[in-house]
Chains A and B, each alone.
Chain A
Amino acid sequence: MAQFFTIALRNFLKGPTTDPYPFGETYTPENYRGIIAYSPELCIGCGTCEYVCPSGAIKLRHHESGMNFSYWLSTCCHCGNCGYYCPTDAVFNSNDFHTARAQSEKYDATINDDIASVQCSRCDAMIPRAVDALLARAYDEITDTVRHRASLCPDCRRLEQFERMYL
């Protein structure tokens, strides 16, 4: 028993080891995988996050003016798969751990954003944006030419390529 008394005495002198949360601050690591944060301006609507999400928390839907990204907190298991595979870091786990909600707010804990499409710079087709984060994965340097080509719809890009090479 004597062995334990030394530990007990040491603990007594050390004071409480728990944090006074919710009345005071608590330690939250920076890397903590909490609620999803989403930036629509970085998203290209590729659907990778929806494909890798094991719990079906992310849904991407097509509509007339582009796509819609939706996320429901109550079914997310905070695994981090979406953020790991997202090519542009548009979605990632923030370290916000405040997931408790009143029953009445259960269906409100969502993210719902439109991923706006842009118009092709040559015709009037609507295309998903190519954000810099994506172009940076494909090209060493994002030149004006790269940017210009990325602003074209696939048809116009093919046409322009043809004009450049054969006309």
Chain B
Amino acid sequence: MSETYRVPVGPIHIALEEPVYFKVKVHGESVEDVDILSGFVHRGMEALVLRRNFLQNMIITERTCSLCSNNHPFTYIMAVEKIAGVRIPPRAEYLRVIADEVKRAASHLFNVSMLAHLVGFHSLMTQTMETREVLQDVKESIWGNRMDLGANTIGGVKYDLDKEQIRYLIKQLNLIKKPIRELTNIYSNNRIVRARTEGVGLLPKEDAVRLGVVGPTARGSGVNNDIRAIYPYVVYDKLNFEVILEDGCDVRARALVRLREVFQAIDLVEQCLRGLPDGPVTTPGLPRIPEGEGVARTEAPRGELFFYVKSNGTDKPERMKWRVPTYLNWEALKVMMPGNKIADISVIFNSIDPCISCTER
């Protein structure tokens, strides 16, 4: 068949978790070009935050997205702290990393389990989710919610770990090491998974650099832009870790980066628990935010997250802007998709770990 025609995928589609609309130009079975339309879940958050005070916005930013929910308030608070000139206590810095890395591990496991779901390997998906459930229990037991940890506050963190909680955390992390090793083995060697991921959705390194993609999407193409390493914040400069890079440039490489980062996250949590200094977890009193501007960047599970906050001396921000990783990554879909089969669209889409609700805020 030599006919070229257009297939609409989305905005509501069984293979997509979130509403986005692809206009796919196909030639026979293979994709020739793709056009992405978005804006279906716009919530006007950037306008909303201007009507709320700085303390309410810690919670509102957390509701931007569920999977990197911790990074939004984290980054927002770092920007606000820069304006206010607040230095948080050392213990709080470690606790911030612990919360963030637990979230990262859970987020990455969610993404790879979606990959298993999309390639039709459902028992692998449930098994990955089952393993992730241990982390969900950890989050629920320590922070009080499965997704929105509410860990950070302006001037420190809202939670503290006692001896028993630390023991519990270590125990649960040890519990999932073996299952994740097994799963990683299946994701990298299983015949079905390999057939559907190897050589699929190629993003050559030059294109990754040209498009400025971020997070595991970039690291799967061998581009190191891990903010934790190149622009360390809180205590990442004191922790011992190496940026994980893969050079396969395909869906498989991106999944492997994520799986290896799960181990890295567990290791970082353990390092933080070992080095956890004593002391207070917040600065005393309620913060006063003077007039000023601040920016902050962190490495969210999906890539670099950037916040800009402008305050005018009142208790509400004058302007807030955040740039989320998916915004940069979905441009890469136009490079990844052409040449692949229609059936691979959702697999490739999933490989950038898209978060539409972040992007459209």
Contact = CB atoms under 8 A, between A and B. Distances in A.
Contact of A7 (B56, B145, B182): B182
A126 B314 CA distance: 32
A90 interface: no
Interface in B294-309: none
Interface stretch (A48-56, A110-118, A146-154): A48-56
A4 B123 contact: yes
Given A54-B60, A80-B150, A84-B158, A93 B55 contact: no
Interface stretch (A26-34, A61-69, A159-167): A26-34
A79 B59 contact: yes
A80 B123 contact: no
Give the secondary structure class of B's interface: helix
B52 interface: yes
Contacts of A80: 144, 150, 158
Interface in A11-44: 11, 17, 27, 29-33
Contacts of A3: 182, 185-186, 189-190
A162 B202 CA distance: 81
B150 A79 contact: yes
A78 interface: yes
Interface residues of B, number: 34
Interface string B249-281: 000000000000000000000000000000000
B84 to A, nearest CB: 17
B57 interface: yes
B108 interface: no
Interface string B47-58: 000001101111
Contact of B190 (A1, A53, A79, A81): A1
A31 B56 contact: no
A7 B179 CA distance: 9
A8 interface: yes
A77 B182 CA distance: 37
Contacts of A7: 127, 179, 182
Contact of A4 (B56, B124, B153): B124
A72 interface: no
B55 A85 contact: yes
Interface in B100-150: 123-124, 127, 130, 133, 137, 140-145, 148, 150
A31 B159 CA distance: 10
Nearest to B58: A81
Nearest to B54: A52
Given A3-B190, A4-B186, A81 B144 contact: no
A77 B80 CA distance: 23
B62 A79 contact: yes
Contact of B57 (A8, A31, A54): A54
Contacts of A17: 130, 133
Contacts of A4: 123-124, 127, 186, 190
B52 A54 contact: yes
Interface centre among A30, A52, A78, A93 (most CB of B within 10 A): A52
Nearest to B145: A33
23 contacts: A3-B186, A3-B189, A3-B190, A4-B124, A29-B140, A31-B140, A31-B142, A31-B143, A33-B150, A52-B53, A53-B56, A54-B56, A54-B57, A54-B60, A79-B59, A79-B62, A79-B150, A80-B144, A80-B158, A81-B55, A81-B56, A81-B59, A93-B144
Pairs A-B, 6 closest by C-beta atoms: A33-B144, A54-B56, A29-B141, A54-B59, A79-B59, A31-B144
Interface of B: 52-53, 55-60, 62-63, 123-124, 127, 130, 133, 137, 140-145, 148, 150, 153, 158, 179, 182, 185-186, 189-191, 286
